[in-house]
A and B are shown apart, each in its own frame.
Chain A
Amino acid sequence: MIFDIAIKDLKVVYRDKLALAVLLLMPAAIIIILGLALSSMFSNEPAVEKFSIAVVDNDGANMSRVLVDGILKENLHELLDVKEVDDNEADILVANGDAAAVITLPEGFTKDFENGNPVKIKIKSSVDNEFHSGIVESIIESFAESVSLNRIGTESIIKVLIKSGTVDMQNMDIKIGQIVSSIQGSLNRKLVEFNEDKQERSENLSAIQYYSATMLVMFMLFGAIQGSKAFVEEREMKTLERIIAARANKAQIIAGKFLGLYIVCILQSAILIVFTSLVYNVDWGNSLPGIFLITVCAVFTGAAFGMFIAAVSRTSNAADGLGMILVQIFTLIGGGMVPYYILPESIKKLAMVTLNWWAVKGYHDIMLGSGLQNVIPYCAILLLMGIAYLSFGTARLKIR
């Protein structure tokens, strides 16, 4: 009985050319339009804009100048704007956010280094600039590695220990080249890591990847709203009442309608993912189970949201209107139109109540190479939301 209702709904949707256009053609068109039009806002290179750091050189001898002048100022000048200051000025720069981090080279740095004593390079960074300070940290780390001294390890974000060894100062010029390329390499790795660490992630997504996920979720929700509209329409047409008059009870009707909606939206998502990946060459990542899980959960929540809208709407037009407005608000604050990394923090916080936020996060993570485990927390949140929508909906839904 439940299946018969669901299958009937599938047939009805399949017969409805307008519904199919909204479910499949529109998203396919909008994804390619946004993907092409906004591609300049996205860059495929793990590039970072130039930022400022402060350096306090309390040593001022050979080795410290190699690091400051040769490496930081000269070779990394496209990335770093180096300000040499004293301790106090450095603190102010960091506190004001004018510098992402302070690198402090201690007195006797060069000497200790040459004598094989442990040396300390202090990195102080502002907490809210984790990304840039992470880059600085990684530069210093790879400097320490490149001068081939047994690195003891990073003690904390604040400091890096370098155990010194002997350095052939005559060959320092050649060495600088090696050191720099090693730093570049580790820098790139660092950026990829950061991307995977969810920081500034969209820097590494192409526009079409970004919008494939956000539009997939938005149009899946439009599909769910069509479902809620259809539910209320059936109430108006009295077909639900007729089903009750035949045999079924309310729970079976709701289960059947929910199942039908769920299948429609799953098919829609699957078709769009396959289509965008084959026709638009969108890279959906390497984790098929991950994509599967996030889709299954997002659609569950979406269909539950549809039942919720049906439950709070008296007329099918009200369901349509309310649903479409909510979905568009969700999409807007969830970064579906304007990329979320340029949205203000407050909106990002608000966006966490939307299912779009978690579903899109899941898709984007997987596109960036995450696996199944990484999206499990998002899926858990989605499922909880879905259960909430569904229980409210089921309690409030009326058949007649």
Chain B
Amino acid sequence: MGFIDISNVHRSFGKIKAVDNVSLQVEKGEVFGLLGPNGAGKSTLISMIATILDQDSGKITVSGYDTKAAPKQVKTRIGLVPQEIALYPSLTAGENLAFWGKMYGLPKSKLKEKVDMALDIAGLKERQKDRIETYSGGMKRRINIAASLLHNPEILIMDEPTVGIDPQSRKHILDTVLDLNSRGMTIVYTSHYMEEVEYLCQRIAIMDNGKIIALGEKEELKLMAGSSSAVAIEASNIDEELIGRIKSLEGVEDALNESYGIKVVVKDPDAMLSRIIEETEKGDSTISSVNVEKPNLESVFLHLTGKALRD
């Protein structure tokens, strides 16, 4: 039985099966990745873990406590970082954190210490007296995370914590995740950015249309995609006819029309590269760059669903 144990969980909104028979376990002390495109059902799943939404059927336990039967015990163990920046814009960072501390039931005597600690983690101590509305997107995200750490949760569940963020804040957040994890905190990291999940997580679940379509160690998953690589060709004048011709080349698994040019999925990029370039240049396309991407979670997703993780 996992630290977080999810078995056969369903949740629908009307006709939409947002979470469709999901089972998975998160082990104590790991950074677990939940990867999936927008609308996959990630937020719905973690809302149920965090007891703010009831499942239609199935069972979820956190540290042995059933989310439906003992939500209080579950809540005290979980810090949920919502996908939205759930902070009060006209209050300062310090005021926001103090408010959330009170919401978590921290005693007055501990409040200041905890708020200071959270500000430290966010790296925004010197700006604590500024209103949230004056912060950049990245700084808001950092406070959004800090607000979920005030009560020393055993588990931190992060719902797309790096959306709309500058590289510096992104790095800060990823470092924070690893740092918290190294101090023993279990982390569930939800994202549609495969690079982040690949960087942070040992075990990963890939979700699509409410279902877990792949679950396992990072390296295991990559093997699932076979040894396929993606050849990204930056080129002008791409049309469906050209895509079709490339698709029909022997050894090519798939070809996709991307905004920058063509993405070609192949088993053996070294052998195929010259043929693909040749074919592309047959028409009036001009190639400006070629890039070979070795198997990653993106190609796993592509392999499993036939579509790109991000549109």
Question: Which A residues contact B (CB, under 8 angstroms)?
Answer: 1, 4, 8, 11-12, 15-16, 237-239, 241-248, 400
21 A-B pairs within 8 Å (CB atoms) are namely A1-B103, A4-B99, A8-B88, A8-B91, A15-B131, A238-B84, A238-B86, A242-B80, A242-B82, A242-B100, A243-B103, A244-B52, A245-B50, A245-B52, A245-B75, A245-B78, A245-B80, A246-B75, A246-B105, A247-B75, A400-B52
A247→B104 CA distance, assembly (Å): 6
Q: Which of chain A's residues have a CB closer than 8 A to the CB of B229?
A: none
Please determine whether B103 and A11 come into contact, CB atoms closer than 8 angstroms: no
The residue that A238 contacts in the complex, of B78, B82, B90, B91, with Cβ under 8 A, is: B82
Please determine whether A246 and B84 come into contact, CB atoms closer than 8 angstroms: no
A172→B52 CA distance, assembly (Å): 91
Q: Which residue of B lies closest to A249 (CB)?
A: B71
Q: Which of chain B's residues have a CB closer than 8 A to the CB of A1?
A: 102-103, 105
Q: Which of chain A's residues have a CB closer than 8 A to the CB of B76?
A: 247
A307→B53 CA distance, assembly (Å): 23
Please determine whether A400 and B51 come into contact, CB atoms closer than 8 angstroms: no
* Interface status of B95 (Cβ within 8 A of chain A): yes
Q: Do A15 and B105 contact each other (CB < 8 Å), given the known contacts A244-B52, A247-B75, A400-B52?
A: no
* Interface status of B87 (Cβ within 8 A of chain A): yes
Please determine whether A237 and B52 come into contact, CB atoms closer than 8 angstroms: no
Please determine whether B103 and A248 come into contact, CB atoms closer than 8 angstroms: yes
B40-80 Cβ-contact flags toward A at 8 Å (1 or 0): 00000001001111000000000000000000100110101
Chain B nearest CB, measured from A315 CB (Å): 15
Q: Which residue of A lies closest to B131 (CB)?
A: A15
Chain A nearest CB, measured from B89 CB (Å): 9
Chain B nearest CB, measured from A21 CB (Å): 15
Q: Which of chain A's residues have a CB closer than 8 A to the CB of B84?
A: 237-238
Chain B nearest CB, measured from A383 CB (Å): 31
Q: Do A4 and B102 contact each other (CB < 8 Å), given the known contacts A12-B90, A238-B84?
A: yes
Q: Which of chain A's residues have a CB closer than 8 A to the CB of B83?
A: 238
Chain A nearest CB, measured from B133 CB (Å): 10
Chain B nearest CB, measured from A232 CB (Å): 14
Q: Which of chain A's residues have a CB closer than 8 A to the CB of B90?
A: 12, 15-16
A11→B98 CA distance, assembly (Å): 13
Please determine whether B91 and A11 come into contact, CB atoms closer than 8 angstroms: yes
A247→B151 CA distance, assembly (Å): 11
Chain A nearest CB, measured from B109 CB (Å): 16
Q: Which of chain B's residues have a CB closer than 8 A to the CB of A11?
A: 91, 95
Chain A nearest CB, measured from B184 CB (Å): 22
Please determine whether B86 and A237 come into contact, CB atoms closer than 8 angstroms: yes
A8→B91 CA distance, assembly (Å): 9
Chain A nearest CB, measured from B71 CB (Å): 9
Please determine whether A242 and B86 come into contact, CB atoms closer than 8 angstroms: yes
Please determine whether A241 and B99 come into contact, CB atoms closer than 8 angstroms: no
Q: Which residue of A lies closest to B80 (CB)?
A: A245
Of listed B52, B82, B103, residue having the most chain A CB within 10 A: B103
Chain A nearest CB, measured from B59 CB (Å): 20
Q: Which of chain A's residues have a CB closer than 8 A to the CB of B91?
A: 8, 11-12, 15
Q: Do A246 and B100 contact each other (CB < 8 Å), given the known contacts A1-B105, A12-B91, A400-B53?
A: yes
Q: Do A241 and B82 contact each other (CB < 8 Å), given the known contacts A246-B103, A247-B104?
A: yes
Please determine whether A241 and B104 come into contact, CB atoms closer than 8 angstroms: no
Q: Which residue of A lies closest to B100 (CB)?
A: A246
B94-117 Cβ-contact flags toward A at 8 Å (1 or 0): 010001101111000000000000
Q: Which of chain B's residues have a CB closer than 8 A to the CB of A4?
A: 99, 102-103
